[in-house]
Amino acid sequence: MIVADHLSKHFKRFRRDPGLRGSLRTLLTRDHELIRAVDDVSFEVPAGAKVAYIGANGAGKSTTIKLLTGIMRPTTGLARVAGFDPHTQRTTVARRIGVVFGQRSQLWWDLPVLDSFRILRHLYEVPPEVYHRNMALFRDRLDLDALGATPVRQLSLGQRMRAEIAACLLHDPAVVFLDEPTIGLDLMLKQAVRDLINHVNAELGTTVMLTSHDIGDITGICDQALVVDRGIVVHQGTMRELLHSVDTRAVIFEYVPGTASEAEVVGRIEAGLPEATATPTEAGRIRVVYPVRRWSARQVISFLLDTFELTDVLIPDADLETVLRRIYGSDPAQAAPVGGAR
Ligand SMILES: Nc1ncnc2c1ncn2[C@@H]1O[C@H](COP(=O)(O)OP(=O)(O)OP(=O)(O)O)[C@@H](O)[C@H]1O
Ligand SMILES: [Mg+2]
């Protein structure tokens, strides 16, 4: 449904030295640097998938979405959405996609929300039954009625985002591109948005491509992950594969206070479980991190039970935050791709 084939977008940024003299020199020399915002990126997203496009600030996520939605033209390479070229066949693609840029409004700033919907209905030639079904859904899930008569410029951020998300889904698009769709939303509203996206995906098979710095959005919506680092895709596969790409796991435990000092506990673990590390966290808690190729959770827990007087044991899920921290902090040339990176 979405194809990026050796897609690149390079920007020239003129180097500018500070001060007047610097500005003059910039004008004269036109000295520039090349920014590889998207650098030879290839991937395919099948119809109906919910893929997270994950990466640190400046990794090239928004630029990729602009290439895929036809807002920008690639420097080299090819984009395809629902079989069409988003840049040269922009109108055809526009009818099949919905886009939300959390950072920027897509609505008519001076018009009341409901008028925006009426315009979109005509622009996209939304059949009456689809229009009414979706408006009922948005009323129910996003409390859209409360916003209807207010001009977009007077809406709060959360109110505007509700309107943006509804607007992007109004014409039953085959693909939605959501670039930070829950930015600035409160907890309840974030959940309502996640539920709505999952609902349209389940009901209509809508393909979802999402970027977010909120891990809850990623784990609450997506089943596939593409991780981009400085313009390059470094991981591609299912969310599960991404989570399991870490080769260490953790067990956290508490023990009866006073039965051993923290230093003793750490020493005994590191002697009894070679290659594991033990770190005291908050009061009376120890975090044991072990390599999965050497130890199983069961072995680690039996060792702890045999060695200490435990009062509590916790096995945290392989957490996305740890995985992402490692990926963001790594050199892209060293990072091994997961799954089917092409
Ligand atoms: N129009 C532009 N002109 C010049 N450079 C640009 C332009 N748009 C983006 N860039 C640069 O391209 C790189 C990627 O930017 P992009 O907005 O795609 O990142 P992002 O992954 O969306 O980051 P964030 O998480 O902060 O939204 C950055 O270094 C940015 O400064
Ligand atoms: Mg961005």
pLDDT in tens, 42-53: 999 999 999 999
Contact between 214 and 235 (Cβ < 8 Å): no
Distance CA 137, CA 229 (A): 37
> How confident is the model at residue 250, as a pLDDT?
87
Ligand 1, atom 16, lies closest to the CA of 60
Which residues in the chain show pLDDT less than 70?
Answer: 15-18, 22, 26-30, 283, 317-318, 329-342
- CATH 3.30.70.100 range(s) for the chain read 248-317
Bridge partners, 186 (sequence order):
none
Contact between 312 and 211 (Cβ < 8 Å): no
Full-model pTM: 0.81
Ligand 1 atom closest to Cα of residue 180: 27
- CATH 3.40.50.300 range(s) for the chain read 2-240
- As a CATH number, domain 2-240 is 3.40.50.300
Q: Which helix (H) or strand (E) holds 3?
A: strand 2-14
Substitution site in 15, 16, 34, 35 for ligand 1 pocket (most atoms within 8 Å of beta carbon): 35
| Complete DSSP assignment for 28-69 | HH--EEEEEEEEEEEEEE-TT-EEEEE--TTSSHHHHHHHHT
> How confident is the model at residue 230, as a pLDDT?
84
Residue 99 CA to ligand 2 center (angstroms) comes to 13
Ligand nearest to the CA of 8: 1
- Phi, psi of 331, rounded to the nearest 5 degrees: -80, 125
Distance CA 65, CA 53 (A): 9
Residues with CB under 6 A from ligand 1: 11, 13, 35, 37, 55, 57-63
> How confident is the model at residue 143, as a pLDDT?
87
Architecture of the 248-317 domain: 2-Layer Sandwich (3.30)
Ligand 1, atom 27, lies closest to the CA of 57
